[in-house]
């Protein structure tokens, strides 16, 4: 059967999104057929404006409406503490917790030689002028605990360990809150033993 | 942290889609930040055109570019056979198999008293003029094998059984291809025994 072009076009657009297969794309498209045209128009406008109305912060490479971003320009944040993250999305995850009061530095990915991503493709070297300013006293490396994330963390550690006054740390590894030892994998368990803390 | 309005708007639009939670919506939005503006514009255009460029077939209530739809206007299809479905999406699923050569009738949902959906809200009574024409000799009721789907099938059966020459059937129930008896639920197994066929 020939599917209506308007439907096929939208299904194809949805299919390009991460984690969306053909079935989900079809389901979302047919769902939108029941939605008022007004809502479709506001959805469509959000898509067009997404990149037009956002900027990349020239300090931390976060995505925001302003440059510098609200975090870098917030006088109440501790500018001496930098948390190093893979993507802007990770900032949202940390900010939700309200426990971190320093600033960020977004790498824009991880070193991944298999996909031709080297340190030059990331914002790794953009970190150095920030450290050289001498105003930074702590660096928390919070790349993901994956192979690529660990390798990137190692690469950065080698790059920055020459700054003697800089306290460098890696986020803690172990069991997530609410987990059961029974179902944890051996690597997570071994990391939780390595990272044990005295009472 | 205040998230950029352009990002928040798009996340909210994605969140309204079926099966999309806040995390997936965020992931899709941040993914789209790396996509060329051209692609965002074509995505946005597909959304606006979705309802503008589609029609509901006045015969079978399928969604298509033309009225009647390509299936109803195809001279090679057997107009004497009607397959009754819940939604237009189900037509795609059946058409993919290329085994059915009749036409369809889309109900637009199922009878669901808890959500205030009675037979009047569906295209159930629109089926009767088609049957009265006398040109229909077979009706295959292919609503989903859920409680609501079965109840709707029963309701329709009672409505159409007065047409004595009409062969009425319900799609077969049992184990799906590739399944293992070991993991099947008792209801599916009991239906597969009820629906057993002699060699």
Hey, CA dihedral for A37, A40, A45, A46, is it positive or negative? positive
Cα(B174)–Cα(B191) distance, rounded to whole angstroms? 5
Q: ipTM value of the model? A: 0.83
**pLDDT at site A1:** 62
Question: pLDDT per residue over A84-100, tens digit each?
Answer: 999 999 999 999 888 99
- pLDDT at residue B1, as a whole number: 62
Shortest CA distance from A89: residue in chain B: B30
Mean pLDDT for B76-100 is 93
Chain B, residues 56-75, CB within 8 A of chain A, namely: 63-65, 70-71
B49 with B137, same domain: the answer is: no
Q: Are residues B80 and B38 in the same domain?
A: no
Average pLDDT, chain A: 92
Max mean pLDDT among A135-149, A178-192, B174-188 falls in A135-149
pLDDT of A107 > 90? The answer is yes
Mean pLDDT of A28-33: 94
Does residue A195 form part of some domain? no
Q: Could you tell me if B162 and B105 lie in one domain?
A: yes
Answer whether A102's CB lies under 8 Å from A138's CB: yes
- Flag whether residue B6 sits within 8 Å of chain A, measured between CB atoms: yes
Residues A9 and A79 in one domain: no
Same domain, A33 and A125: no
Residue (of B89, B95, B27, B23) closest to B61 by Cα position: B89
Contact A32 B52 (CB under 8 A): no
* Residue from B45, B43, B44, B69 nearest B56 by CA: B69
Whether residue A193 is contained in a domain is answered as no
- If asked whether residues A18 and A45 sit together in one domain, one would say yes
Residues whose CB is less than 8 angstroms from the CB of residue A87 and which lie 6 or more positions away in sequence, other chains included: A106, A107, A108, A109, B30
pLDDT (tens digit, 9 = 90+) per residue, B108-163?
999 999 999 999 999 999 999 999 988 999 999 999 999 999 999 999 999 998 99
Q: Using a cut of 0.95, tell me whether the model's pTM lies above it.
A: no
CATH of the domain at B123: 3.40.1360.10
pLDDT of residue B94: 92
Domain of residue B109 covers 56-170
Give the number of domains in chain A: 2
Q: Is the peptide bond before A17 cis (omega within 30 degrees of 0)?
A: no
Q: A168: helix, coil or strand?
A: strand
Question: Could you tell me what percent of chain A has a pLDDT over 70?
Answer: 99
Q: Which residues contact A131 (CB under 8 A, 6 or more apart)?
A: A139, A160, A163, A166
Contact B191, B174 (CB under 8 A): yes
State whether A63 and B4 contact (CB < 8 Å): yes
The answer, yes or no, to whether residue B194 has pLDDT greater than 90, is no
B10 plus B84 within the same structural domain:
no
Q: What is the structure's pLDDT at B181?
A: 86
Q: Are residues A158 and A96 in the same domain?
A: yes
For A2, A63, A187, B192, the CA distances from B153, given in Å and listed in that order, are: 28, 52, 53, 19
Q: How far A58 CA sits from the closest chain B CA (Å)?
A: 16
Domain membership flag for residue A179: no
Asked if A74 and A48 sit in the same domain, the reply is no
Segment A160-182 shows an average pLDDT of 90
Report d(CA B166, CA B160) in Å as an integer.
8
Residues A22 and A65 in one domain: no
The residue whose two tokens read 């503006």 is: B37
Shared domain check, B142 and B63? yes
Query: For residue A77, what pLDDT is reported?
Result: 95
Instruction: Report the percent of chain B where pLDDT is more than 70.
Output: 99
> Which of B6, B22, B53 to mutate: most A Cβ within 10 Å?
B6
From the number of C-beta atoms within 10 Å of its C-beta (0-12, 13-18, 19+), residue A68 rates as middle
Is B45 domain-assigned?
yes
Q: Which residue of B has its CA nearest to A108?
A: B34
Mean pLDDT value across residues A103-131 = 94
Q: What percent of chain A has pLDDT over 90?
A: 76
A38: helix, coil or strand? helix
Give the residue-averaged pLDDT of A47-69. Answer: 93
Burial class (CB in 10 A: 0-12, 13-18, 19+), B76: exposed
Q: Which of B101, B131, B46, B111 is nearest to A6 (CA)?
A: B46
Same domain membership, residue A93 and residue A12: no
Per-residue pLDDT at A178 exceeds 80? yes
- Write the DSSP symbol of residue A112: B
């Amino acid at each position: 059967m020939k599917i209506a072009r308007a439907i096929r076009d939208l299904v194809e657009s949805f299919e390009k999104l991460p984690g969306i297969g053909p079935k989900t794309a079809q389901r979302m498209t047919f769902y939108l057929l029941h939605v008022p045209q007004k809502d479709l128009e506001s959805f469509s406008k959000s898509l067009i404006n997404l990149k037009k109305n956002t900027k990349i912060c020239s300090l931390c490479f976060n995505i925001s409406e302003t440059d510098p971003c609200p975090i870098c320009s917030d006088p109440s944040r501790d500018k001496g503490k930098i948390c190093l993250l893979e993507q802007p999305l990770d900032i949202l995850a940390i900010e939700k917790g309200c426990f971190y009061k320093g600033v960020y530095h977004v790498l824009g990915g991880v070193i991944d030689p298999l996909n031709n991503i080297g340190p030059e493709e990331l914002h790794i070297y953009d970190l150095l002028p920030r450290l050289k300013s001498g105003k930074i006293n702590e660096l928390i490396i919070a790349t993901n605990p994956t192979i690529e994330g660990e390798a990137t963390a190692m690469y950065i550690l080698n790059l920055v360990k020459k700054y003697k006054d800089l306290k460098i740390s890696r986020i803690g590894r172990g069991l997530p809150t609410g987990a059961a030892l029974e179902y944890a994998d051996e690597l997570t368990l071994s990391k939780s033993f390595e990272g044990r803390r005295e009472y």
